[in-house]
Every structure is written in C-alpha cells, then in structure tokens.
Amino acid sequence: MSDASSGHSRRKFINTLTQGVLATSIAPDILMAAGNHPDLQLLKRPDQYGANDQVQIALIGAGGMGNADADTCITVPGVKIIAVCDLYDGRLEAAKKKFGNDIFITKEFKEILSRKDIDAVIVATPDHWHKDISIEAMNSGKAVYCEKPMVHDITEGSAVIEAQNKNKSIFQVGSQGMSSLGNEKAKQLYESGAIGQLNYAEGFWARNSPGGAWQYDIPADASTKTVDWKKFLKNYPDMAFDPKRFFRWRCYKDYGTGVSGDLFVHLFSSLHYIVSSTGPEKIVATGGLRYWKDGREVPDILLGMFDYPLTDKHPAFNLSLRVNFVDGTAENTYLRLVGNEGSMIVEWDKVTLTKNKSYPASANDPSVAKDKPDPFSYDRKKMLDPDAIVFKAEQGYKGAHFDHHYNWIRAVRGGKPVVEDALFGYRAAAPALLCNDSYFHERSMRWDPVKLEVVNKK
C-alpha cells in the first residue's frame, strides 16, 4: 500500500471493508475447507481482496522461527510480507530470495516501525529484544505477533500490557498450540467435567538431537562485517564478537530464557487456556547441566513444580513440568491433566481421554440399569465403556500454527479478539521465568498471578 495513511487508519479501512464483505458473502468453498473450525468461515477467498485490502507485514528477526512464522502467515489469504529486518546479512539476502527482490530490508527495526505501509509486525528476535521492539511497534500503531516467551525478565511484562492497553493494539504472543483444535477440544472436555475434579497436571519435553539442544550451525561468513553485533548486545555487557552468542543465543542468560522460557511456556499457555487459569502461586525448580557442557549458562535438564491455588474456575492443583535435552531414546512431548474421574493427554491435533475403571458405565448401557435381576440369566459379561477415547483432528487440518496466525490476522481485520494477548502472555511467561529464578537462586518463588507481582522478591 503506497498511500499516506497511517498504520492505524489503514487497518481501520481494512476492518470496515472486511466487515462489509463478510456481512454479504461467505464463500462456500472456504466453508467446506473450514471443516469443524467454524471461525474459518470468516475467511474471504484470496481473489476477493482488492489491491488495498491486504494486511502488510514486516518480519523482525528472520531466523528459524521468524521464517516459519512468515511462511505460515502468508498462507492466510490477503497477507503479504513487504519488509524484513535482521541483524545478519545472510538472513536479509535469504529473505529477498524468498519474499521477492522488492521487499524492504534493514538491520534497524525503527526503520520498519516508521513505515506507513506496514500494518503489522512479527517479532521473532531472541528473547531479550521482545519487550522493546513490541512496545515501540505498538506505540507506532502496528499490530504485533510476538514470539514466546513474551518477555525475557519477570520485571518486563507490565510495560507490554500497558502499551497494548494504551494503544488498543492487537498483540498476540506466539504460543501456537493455544489456537489448536487439540487445545479447544481439551477445554471443552474439561469444562464438561470429563475428568472430574482436576487435581494434578504434568508436562514433559524430551529432545535427543544436537539441533534440539541449541547447537545450531554457525555460518562461515559470520563476522562484524555481516552481523550488527553491538545492536544484538542491547544493554547487556559489551564484548568482542562471539558467533556462538549470536547464533546460539539460547545458551546465554543475557539473551535467552533457558529451557523453561523456550519450552515450559508452551505448556503453561495450553494449560492456562484449557482450565482458564491465571497461573501458579508457588514455583520451585531444580535440574542441572548434565551433558551439553559447551559453555552454556543454563541447565539442560530442568524439573519445575507449581502450586495452583483454588479459583472460581478451577480447584487447587499441582503441576509438574520436565525438560530433558539429553534423552537418548526418543523425542517426546506431552501435557496431561488428571482428575478424580479420568485424565487427558493433550496434543495440538489430538486429545486422548482416559476414564477411571471405577467410573460407572454409561447410563444408556441397558445392561446397567436393570431393576430386578432375571432369575433365569447367567453371569453374562457386559460391554465395557472404552478405556480411552481418542479425538483426532480431521484430515487436512492446517495445524496450530496456521490457526494462530489466522486468529491474529482476523483480529487485525477487526474480527474476534486474540486470546493470547499481553496479559495472557505475561501470565504464561511468568512461571517459566520464575523457574529460572528458583533454579539459579536455589529457593522457591512466590507469584501473585492476579496482581502480577513477585511476592518474595528477596
């Protein structure tokens, strides 16, 4: 879009136009594709968009996840990547090859934010840059998709929430599982009482490959000629260029948030969404650096325990989360919720509900509800209820990542608001960040998830 309107008014125009069209036409072929995901009915066919009816996106941080986000986002009809910001030349060159020679590229994110033709930005930088770029983007009238964890330090969350509220921004954190069919089904089952009274939950994340343990390749041309090293460092201690710190930033406390900020945060997002929780009030973590002794500052095994208080949405329960980056057997991830009547394992495209054996057989089983025993009958065995019921996404399901980007773009166009906004995102990030505080300071942490305050600062 090349006119002179601001990001705000451009979005307003898109919203008005979209709402008008939605009221009059819903393309039947999209309805078919929507399957059992009714919100997808809001989509217009790509060919129904005019030249201006396009959400124009910039990607800030064009590494592994930034590219995955951009690739997914442009599969939502009417979305175009028009600019890319990164601190490494190689990634800017790759972006031109992928998104077209005409895209705007820069190493300075402020040059992205000052452009009037950009409606929304994806922030997929290392964690230590999330807060500042997101806030500046919202203050510049942009909608923001900020990768998880929303912030790098427990002290940073409130400022992001304030910026979102002050600017009335569309801000979504990138824990894509949140928007999945699996999470939606689990929430529905949980709310219908399928597992009875929740008392315990657990999550596990195992990895067994070097890439999975953050040993990413370092490009041969990495140097201060190709990398804006000073910018990367932000306000953290100045030092000579270290390609490991730049390309394997997750291993260092100044830029990353350890395994809990990388992985626990997904499990918190899903759990909080399913049971409508604001978060735990007590956090204890232990673990160790057992294998990847490559100079990293954070553990490769982390065990976290969390006490969730009674609220009007859920009973008090305990959560146990584990990450093992040294699992020589298989990669594995799960989130399991346990109640007195059953349990469920939640995946993004599948939910497995298991009922306790002692749970009464269903009321519509005719063998259960006989008034008087038949004196001529023998001890005939019954048909049992299934041990486990598996709910699977329909074939062709585009997946959690598409759903999450779709939800964000729909909100940008004036549709249903996002669920994983700054408040939700902070509440999911906080216990993950406090795990690190607990691990490094060797003490339990107390958190008030309603007031958003660390209760025992010392």
Ligand X SMILES: NC(=O)c1ccc[n+]([C@@H]2O[C@H](COP(=O)([O-])OP(=O)(O)OC[C@H]3O[C@@H](n4cnc5c(N)ncnc54)[C@H](O)[C@@H]3O)[C@@H](O)[C@H]2O)c1
Window 216-235: residues binding ligand X (CB under 6 A): 231-232
Of residues 214 and 308, the one with the C-beta less far from ligand X: 214
Going by the DSSP 8-state scheme, the letter that residue 396 receives in this structure is T
Residue 222's Cα: distance from chain center in Å? 30
Alpha-carbon span 138 to 164, nearest angstrom: 7
- Are the CB atoms for 179 and 418 separated by under 8 Å? no
- In three-state form (DSSP H/G/I as H, E/B as E, the rest C), the secondary structure along 200-251 is EEEEEEECCCCHHHCCCCCCCCCCCCCECHHHHHCCCCCCCCCHHHHHCHHH
Least Å from the CB of residue 265 to ligand X: 8
Longest dimension (CA), the chain: 92
Candidates 89, 119, 127, 156: give the one binding ligand X (CB under 6 A).
127
425 is an interface residue for ligand X by CB under 6 A: no
Candidates 82, 83, 86, 268: give the one binding ligand X (CB under 6 A).
86
Candidates 44, 59, 63, 272: give the one binding ligand X (CB under 6 A).
63
| Cα distances (angstroms) measured from residue 174 to each of 147, 171, 266 | 4, 10, 9
Of residues 116 and 148, the one with the C-beta less far from ligand X: 148
- Are the CB atoms for 74 and 58 separated by under 8 Å? no
Residues in binding contact with ligand X, number by CB under 6 A: 25
Of residues 174 and 287, the one with the C-beta less far from ligand X: 174
78 is an interface residue for ligand X by CB under 6 A: no
155: number of CA atoms within 13 Å, CB side?
3
Query: Among all residues, whose Cβ is closest to ligand X?
Result: 63
Alpha-carbon span 344 to 339, nearest angstrom: 9
Of residues 198 and 321, the one with the C-beta less far from ligand X: 321
Candidates 64, 193, 211, 243: give the one binding ligand X (CB under 6 A).
64
Candidates 124, 160, 163, 222: give the one binding ligand X (CB under 6 A).
124
Candidates 49, 99, 109, 171: give the one binding ligand X (CB under 6 A).
109
Region from 21-29, 56-64, 75-83, 363-371 binding ligand X, contact rule CB under 6 A: 56-64
Of residues 133 and 198, the one with the C-beta less far from ligand X: 133
Least Å from the CB of residue 426 to ligand X: 15
Candidates 81, 113, 120, 129: give the one binding ligand X (CB under 6 A).
129
Backbone angles phi, psi at 91, to 5 degrees: -75, -30
Least Å from the CB of residue 167 to ligand X: 21
Candidates 56, 82, 83, 88: give the one binding ligand X (CB under 6 A).
88
62 is an interface residue for ligand X by CB under 6 A: yes
Burial of 272 (C-beta count, 10 Å sphere; 0-12/13-18/19+): buried
Burial of 350 (C-beta count, 10 Å sphere; 0-12/13-18/19+): middle
- Are the CB atoms for 454 and 447 separated by under 8 Å? yes
Window 232-291: residues binding ligand X (CB under 6 A): 232, 262
Going by the DSSP 8-state scheme, the letter that residue 310 receives in this structure is P
Interface residues toward ligand X, by CB under 6 A = 60-66, 85-88, 91, 109, 124-127, 129, 147-148, 174, 176, 231-232, 262
